[in-house]
Amino acid sequence: MRKILVIGAGRSASSLIKYLLDKSETENLHITIADLSLALAQQKAQNHINARAIAFDIHNIEQRHQEIKNSDIVVSMLPAFMHMEVAKDCIRFKKSMVTASYISPEMQALDTEAKENNLIFMNEIGLDPGIDHMSAMKVIDQIRDKGGKIILFESFCGGLVAPESDTNLWNYKFTWNPRNVVLAGQGGVAKFIQEGTYKYIPYNKLFRRTEFLNVEGYGKFEAYANRDSLKYRCIYGLEDALTVFRGTIRRVGYSRAWDILVQLGMTDDSYTLDNSEEMTYREFTNLFLPYHPSDTVEIKLRHAQKIDQDDIIWDKLVEIGLFDKTQKIGLKDATPAQALEKILSEKWALQPNDKDMIVMYHKFGYELNGEQKQIDATMVCLGDDQTYTAMAKTVGLPVAIATLKILNGEITTPGVQLPIKKEIYDPILEELEKFGVVFHEHQTPYLGYNTENYSY
């Protein structure tokens, strides 16, 4: 049997492992599921005849060498910073490798050795990055094949709560890592190009500069800028495009409310709070407000942020419990961001019957035969349950499909790469459609810079 080693059995691996197990008999596969938690690996293995669950310590060199050596291909679903030890062993034992993570400089440095050994190191093959690359390049290549020239590319993606599970004023619940949500946009300015002019948005302005989107059947959304859109000009061959912008999708109104938390300083992760363990949510909120001998915390916050009492933003702040006098942070030496994450994790947790939703939206502006045209492509994927979420499907399934196609010799180009070639994106997108990951393309009038849709 052909042996696949999957390292990491976390949430993103659920659909990945199920796909491989479902294919195991017809494709003659045996899947080893390796995780630090044996119980988690066993849970994902489901007692399948073609699965083997093991407790696995990435720092155990002997075990790591043995498992990689005995496999035919390796899938790493570890955190990105842990990939390199696996990658170096894959070079040593001449095994191809698949990850959903961005290509790091250290990973890129293995390109020559991977090519010399005829190995495929496929990266950025999850959701974002991953499905975004493939779905964008498919349309871009189609436009170029007709002789068209891309002048605008905008791409948006968001992990949200499904409409039937949308039960709070923020229209948002945590469908993935809460810490990443709290720290979104930090660590640098958002940069992009718009109508031929470079644009930069600092973190303190990020959530007040949004674009509005409409997705048929799902209503209106907003998007704030991702950190670096400019690198995609080179990746996609869009050096001559006048507009290249990538953003994160939320429901309308989220960003304006989130900006209040940013301006207060609650998302800061650079220092720790004294006595955070015993601090109530109300005391946490009061840390960021000026002293007043008689005004309440509520009044001080409204004055500081100029929020009217009948503003929906005020109701949102109340809803997440910022003024609760009894609930405690309960974390020792917490940063403000960690304290906020604790508060929100209680309010925005997915309930047992909740479902999540992934929304992706691309805009392609192009010139063809002297005319300016535009194609909008949208994809909405709904989760099945708490295990096979939309996030798990859209991250894990492309990884699984790519792994099998490499194993079957259908993807053959060696080296460290991402999925922007036709031999990769065509068959994977086709297979994804069977699982509800479907893009709907619409030809629309070319809008270019439309002041009705943009606030940046």
CB under 8 Å to 199, separation ≥6 — which residues? 191, 192, 193, 456
Is 252 in the same domain as 359? yes
On the question of pLDDT at 384 being above 50, the answer is: yes
Domain end position, chosen among 93, 122, 151: 122
Q: Is the same domain home to 118 and 136? A: no
Residue 257: per-residue pLDDT = 97
Q: Tell me: the pLDDT tens digits for 23-36?
A: 999 999 999 999 99
Q: How far apart are CA 223 and CA 192, in angstroms?
A: 14
Q: Has residue 455 been placed in a domain?
A: no
**In this predicted structure, what is the pLDDT of residue 187?**
80
- Selection from 163, 328, 152 nearest residue 236 by Cα: 152
Which residue, 267, 256, 246, 171, is CA-closest to 207?
Answer: 256
pLDDT class of 445 with cuts at 50, 70, 90 = confident
Task: Say what the pLDDT of residue 456 is.
Answer: 45
Beta bridge partners of 5: 32, 74
Same domain, 227 and 252: yes
Q: Are residues 12 and 74 in the same domain?
A: yes
**Rounded distance, CA 282 to CA 195, Å?**
45
Is residue 319 domain-shared with residue 430, that is, in the same domain? no
- Split into its structural domains, the chain has a count of 3
- Angle (nearest 5°) at CA 181 between 277 and 171: 105
> Which residue type does 237 have?
G
218 falls in which pLDDT band (50, 70, 90)? very high
Better-predicted residue by pLDDT, 456 or 176: 176
What b/e readout covers 45-65, taking b as 16+ CB neighbours within 10 angstroms? beebebbebeebebeeeeebe
Residues above pLDDT 90, as percent of the chain: 91
Report if residue 456 sits inside a domain: no
Q: Is there a single domain that holds both residue 118 and residue 140?
A: no
Are both 249 and 279 inside the same structural domain?
no
- Helix H or strand E encompassing 217: none
Range of the domain at 39: 2-122
**Are 310 and 378 found together in one domain?**
no
